[in-house]
Amino acid sequence: MVYKRFSVGITLRVLGIAVCIFLGIWLYYTQGLLLAPGILLLAVGFLAGEMIYYVNSINHKLARFLDSIRFTDFSSSFTSDSKMGGSFREVNQAFNEVMEVFKQTRAEKEEQMLFLQVIIQHINTGIISFNAEGKIGVINNAAKQLLQIPQFRDISDLGKLSVQLLQEIMEIKPGQRLSFKVNPTLHLIIQSTALKMGGTSWTLLSFQNINAELQSNELEAWQNLTKVLRHEIMNSITPISSLVDSLRTILDEDSFVQPEGILIKRDGFLDIQEGLDTIANRSKGLVTFVNAYRDYTNIPLPKKSMVSVDDLIENVCHLMREELRSKEIEVKKLITPENLEIACDPDQVSMILINLIKNATESLQNQADRRIQIRAIGQGDLGSQIQVEDNGPGIVPEALERIFVPFYTTKKTGSGIGLAISRQIMNLHRGSLTVTSEADKRTIFSLNFR
């Protein structure tokens, strides 16, 4: 409708200009008049100016409308000009309606932003965002209370708390987690996320102090360990104590004092000899247990370097080739990509793989078809994974929850320390060791490197 009115207005003005020009020329050449053509020329100028104003008015309003959107100024309003004859009333009304919609949308966004800011300031997790230049964008109260850094404006200020923490945060990749102990009362778990806002790249960090939780878990772990130690020691001491009492009784009943010395019956002597052998064997078992505990609590920190996964697995397979061949076990390896590398201590990770392959060979001893598959998968920013899979009978759910507990074992022989040490090594690598198992199908141990 507006377009039609606009077209009619332009057409009438063009016709008016054409008529004035034609009439002025006719009066000048046929009648020889000068005043009338002059007046008509002024009329043409007026009509041309009025038409230019008529055309440009909508452009000015449109430009003002777009500027309002560009500078998010929605306070403007558009009114009809009486000189326009009401032809642009619908345009003005549409502009005002759009401005009102923008105004409401902006108000809703501001309310949402305010709501999010309130949430961020009230959550117990510390939140910090910073851009590529290190400038802090958002920092909530929880982060300020955790870090206790005055005038925290740049991420480099984190060095006031710990230079090493700052260095590790600057090296952390999006999606990764970092565990860092600042002091005896502050042990941080830090999660990193990358995002873009307004064409600027931001890094978002979340901080949690897990010191209290670690202390609780540590207390529980010590209690569990004490139970294990008490159980193992009592299993050794009780029969030794009982056996000593029995030997004392044998000495009292089967020994006789003679002038030349003490005489012991043959049967009594054999019983004492057997009892002493039993005490010696049990004592050796107790020493072995204590040594296993010492190994578990004295694992050195890993010396990391970039290692070819293919070389790592090949060296382990070469080391165990004769044992695998003698037990007729087929080993397959699959590495994706073929040139995959991981940052690890090759000696410690080789020890884990040897332990897992040995466990797999023992689980396959009663299987007709014996297969072990070693897979390595690169997952980009999510890290890498090495899996050791066997097609043995699997692990029962009850044992699956406890196989990483120190000194727990489902085998007739063994200390039950191998998997516990393996998991601790992976924890020192800031990774994890997990297991999944399906009865009578497969068992998969996964070494997860971040």
pTM above 0.85, yes or no: no
319-374 tens-digit pLDDT: 888 788 888 889 999 999 999 999 999 888 988 898 899 889 888 888 888 899 99
pLDDT of amino acid 58: 64
Looking at residue 81, what is its pLDDT? 53
Give residue 390's pLDDT. Answer: 92
Would you say the C-alpha torsion 314, 319, 324, 326 has a positive or negative sign? positive
Taking the C-alpha atoms of residue 386 and residue 449, their distance in angstroms, rounded to an integer, is 8
C-alpha span between 438 and 450 (Å, rounded): 26
**To the nearest 10°, the Cα dihedral for 113, 116, 118, 122?**
-160
Q: What is the pLDDT of residues 14-46, one digit of tens each?
A: 887 788 888 777 777 777 777 777 777 787 777
pLDDT digit string (tens) for 209-219? 877 776 676 66
Q: How far apart are CA 89 and CA 76, in angstroms?
A: 16
Q: What is the DSSP string of 108-156?
A: HHHHHHHHHHHHHHHSSSEEEEEETT-BEEEE-HHHHHHH--TT--BGG
* Residue 232 contacts residue 215 (beta carbons within 8 Å): no
Residues near 445 by Cβ (< 8 Å), separated by ≥ 6? Answer: 356, 387, 388, 389, 433, 434, 435
Tokens in use for 411?
A: 């085998």
Burial of 176 (0-12, 13-18, 19+ CB in 10 A): middle
Residue ranges in the chain modelled with pLDDT below 70: 1-9, 54-55, 57-62, 64-96, 99, 214-215, 217-219, 221-229, 231-236, 238-239, 282, 285-286, 288-298, 406-416
- The verdict on domain 123-209 having CATH code 3.30.450.20 is yes
What CATH number matches the domain at 305-449, 3.40.50.620, 3.10.105.10, 3.10.20.30, 3.30.565.10? 3.30.565.10
Number of helices (H), then strands (E), belonging to the chain: the values are 12, 14
Give the pLDDT of residue 121.
77
Average pLDDT taken over every residue of the chain: 79
Residue in 100, 86, 80 with CA at minimum distance from that of residue 1: 86
- Measured distance CA(419)–CA(389) in Å, rounded: 15
Q: Which element (helix H / strand E) includes 42?
A: helix 35-70
Tell me what pLDDT residue 2 has: 44
Give how far Cα 312 sits from Cα of 66, 308, 316, 354, 383, Å.
Answer: 64, 6, 7, 11, 17
- Cα–Cα distance list, 80 to 26, 83, 94 (Å): 39, 9, 12
